[in-house]
Chains A and B, each alone.
Chain A
Amino acid sequence: MKQLTRRTILAAAPAALTLSVPFVSARAKDYGPGVTDKEIKLGNTGPYSGPASGYSPVPKSQVAYWKMINDQGGINGRMINFISYDDAYTPPKTVEMARKLVEDDKVFFIASPLGTPCNSAIWHYMNEKKVPQLFVATGATKWDDPKGHPWTIGWQPNYQSEGRIYAAYILKEKPGGKIGVLYQNDDFGKDYLKGVKDGLGDKASMVIVEASYETTDPTVDSQVVDMKAKGCDVFVNCGIPKFAAQAIRKAAEIQWTPLHVLSSIGNSVGATLKPAGLDNAKDLVSDFYLKDASDPKWKDDAGFKEWSAFMDKYIPDGDKLDQGFVAGASLAAMAAQVLKQCGDELTRENVMKQAANLHDITVPMLLPGIKADTSATDFAPLKQVQMAKFDGQRWNLFGDLIRGAIG
């Protein structure tokens, strides 16, 4: 009997939602599903198992971060019940888990599901059910679409923007260069490649080698050898830490010294450059929006010390070199900011309204000067990056903050 009358119930949804909360207080606050006077239920999905389990620190650190928030008193007096499920980076599983969170666990919203295909799989569903899909943990360009998908909001500077920034830098530093691009054969890799080529505009023919790799490839040595042999003198290295490190090491081994641009995915000192050999990484150029936790430069920085203390207390055996823990903590901090801004008006509509109402918001591990900004027509909170050059010990930031070209 639930089923047959569901359509009628759904027709009166907004009012019904507020009435469905079990303990309606006498003050009749406006609550969405998953919210009570004492608790807010949030949902999350991420790859805890499977071949993409290397990203598991991102959801793991979010779980720990919300625990910390609860220990500090919660948000506006409410404890956060953060439910995080494994989707093994397989879209059908993400759909199942998202539906579980929304229909079974009845969460208030889903925060930072990880992965482009995974978020693509639930994109339509979340918007149809009008459940906020907040700060998705992927850098695809499509999430900045307030008109078409008003319930989904992105987070990080998107990959295509970064690609364009690399292109602009190359045009300035080596306008006649021959470029080789190393990229992962999936959505984020192809986005980087597209960004670089679009950024070069009519000079896109500067890219003479487009070398892809699969995560199952043991090494990318062959790709690097190929680039040198074909005469490339610019190398755009968009590999994840393992492959970025292999490429850096191989380039040094074969005595190839191109203008080496590293993407933000693989620029951590501890996770990528050290294994590759710090000396091999001299003069590398990259872009940052988060602080590199393994860079000695931030040793005395207040934001870093806060994050470090969080790691020591809540994830003591977590590897501090893994930037996934930085990303996750920052994602959770941003979501906490949105909840704070909601105050006691805890409806899903207000969540999106506040998410679209971020001005000059920072979280501890963002680069100094970088702020999150959103509006009703701008669903890309982080747009700025800053370039840096590696001197063999640390990354030295240079230039001004660059605003991403798209979104």
Chain B
Amino acid sequence: MELLLQQVMAGLANGAIYACVALAVVMIYQAIDHLNFAQGEMAMFSTFIAWQLMTWGVPYWVAFAITIVLSFIAGVLIDRVLFRPVQNAPILSQIVAFIALFSILNSSAGQIWDYTIKSFPTPFGTAPLFGSGMIDAHEAGMIGITLILLGFLYAFFRGTRLGLAMRAAAANPVSARLVGIRVGWMTALGWGMAAALGAIAGMLIAPVVFLEPNMMIGVLLYGFAGAVLGGLTSPLGAVVGGFAVGVLENLAGTFIPYVGRELKLTLALIMIVIVLMFRPNGLFGRMVVSRV
């Protein structure tokens, strides 16, 4: 029983990471209506920038703030420079543009900062909570920040005019333009926010997994799975999905005999696919009815 509890806790801790990333994934999806493959690499690059600033002596929270601002700007720039020219291209071409961005960021980070792992500080400290070391302060802080961001996003999208405008621009650019929404700027804003969110995710994740250029590849995979499981239209779903993936994966690895350890990832993904069989739009996704 104790092992179960420990694995659930460890799963929740991992799940916090996935939830963070899943939130960023859903964020960009809400803004531009498809998935950005390079999301993880953007987050990784932002985290490296924060690390570099701190290496140069900038205090943590200042570096944190600067990085978020820089990431926001970078997100907007990427939209304007990269995304705009292929906006009217087929969706698959856009996906290839994201793949290109992934490649560029990953390779550049490796060239600039090398592949050795780097410690990244955490503002929460690493003292274990609840004594027994099942979850430590940083992991708790990560969960807390994720939930705060979730709340913020929920309020933003549902409660503000700007959020509504963004959702409209993504869902139906033509109609949105007709009512006066500056679709171009909405998209850019969405990119900027997603980049900033990714930067936060990266800076929360790095203390746990160590900073290196390939840090986000596996994480993005799980984050994506979590976002899809939760339903790509729902930030709450993303967070729940992220945690669910973390716990699922840990339990599969520990308790399913014989295959569990080696096929952990496969089993987790299979379980998600099974869930999608029954709820094709994810756990919390809304079914969109289309009439012809």
Contact = CB atoms under 8 A, between A and B. Distances in A.
Interface string A183-224: 001000000000000000000000000111011111101110
Contacts of B132: 254
A253 B14 contact: no
Nearest to B115: A54
Interface stretch (B87-95, B147-155, B215-223, B278-286): B215-223
A212 B114 contact: no
Contacts of A161: none
A271 B117 contact: yes
Nearest to A211: B261
A270 B117 CA distance: 9
B256 to A, nearest CB: 13
Given A226-B254, A241-B117, A253-B126, A246 B265 contact: no
A326 to B, nearest CB: 12
Contact of B222 (A218, A229, A241, A255): A218
Contacts of A246: 209-210
A281 to B, nearest CB: 13
Contacts of A318: 114
Contacts of B122: none
Interface residues of A, number: 41
Size bin of chain B's contact surface: 35 or more
A257 B110 CA distance: 34
Which of A212, A226, A318 has its CB near the most chain B CB atoms (within 10 A)? A226
B210 to A, nearest CB: 5
A368 interface: no
A274 interface: yes
A218 B219 contact: yes
Interface in B56-77: none
A222 B134 CA distance: 11
Interface string A258-288: 0000000000001110110000000000000
Contact of A216 (B212, B213, B221): B221
Contacts of A68: none
Interface string A39-70: 00000000001010111110000000000000
Given A216-B218, A255-B133, A53 B119 contact: no
Contact of B6 (A223, A229, A241, A253): A229
Contact of B118 (A212, A253, A275): A275
B146 interface: no
Contacts of B119: 274-275
Contacts of B136: 253
Nearest to A319: B114
B162 to A, nearest CB: 33
A245 B118 CA distance: 10
A389 to B, nearest CB: 23
A226 B209 contact: no
Interface string B1-39: 011001100110110010000000000000000000000
A242 interface: yes
Contact of A222 (B2, B217, B250): B250
A402 interface: no
**Chain A CB within 10 A, most for which of B17, B133, B265:** B133
B214 A222 contact: no
A225 interface: yes
A222 B117 contact: no
A64 to B, nearest CB: 14
B241 interface: no
A293 to B, nearest CB: 11
A322 B110 contact: no
Nearest to A214: B265
Interface string B245-286: 000001001100000011011000000000000000000000
B208 interface: yes
Contact of B254 (A214, A222, A242): A222
Contacts of B210: 242, 245-246, 275
A221 B116 contact: no
A83 interface: no
B128 interface: yes
A113 to B, nearest CB: 19
A322 B213 CA distance: 14
A270 B114 CA distance: 13
Contacts of B262: 185, 212
Contacts of B110: 53, 56
A53 B214 contact: yes
B107 interface: yes
Interface string B111-131: 000111111000000101000
A266 to B, nearest CB: 10
A321 interface: yes
A107 B288 CA distance: 61
Given A53-B115, A57-B115, A221 B2 contact: no
Contacts of A55: 115
A223 B11 CA distance: 11
**Residue among B103, B110, B132 with most chain A CB within 10 A:** B110
Q: Which of B117, B205, B209, B261 has the most CB of A within 10 A?
A: B117
Contacts of A270: 116
B214 A221 contact: no
B117 A219 contact: no
Given A53-B115, A212-B262, 15 more contacts: A49-B103, A214-B265, A215-B214, A215-B218, A217-B218, A225-B7, A225-B10, A241-B117, A242-B212, A245-B117, A246-B209, A255-B133, A322-B114, A322-B115, A322-B116
3 nearest interchain CB pairs? A216-B218, A319-B114, A54-B115
Interface of B: 2-3, 6-7, 10-11, 13-14, 17, 103, 106-107, 110, 114-119, 126, 128, 132-134, 136, 205, 208-210, 212-214, 217-219, 221-222, 250, 253-254, 261-262, 264-265
18 contacts: A53-B106, A53-B115, A53-B214, A54-B115, A56-B110, A57-B115, A214-B218, A214-B265, A216-B265, A218-B14, A219-B208, A225-B7, A226-B7, A230-B3, A242-B117, A255-B133, A271-B116, A319-B116
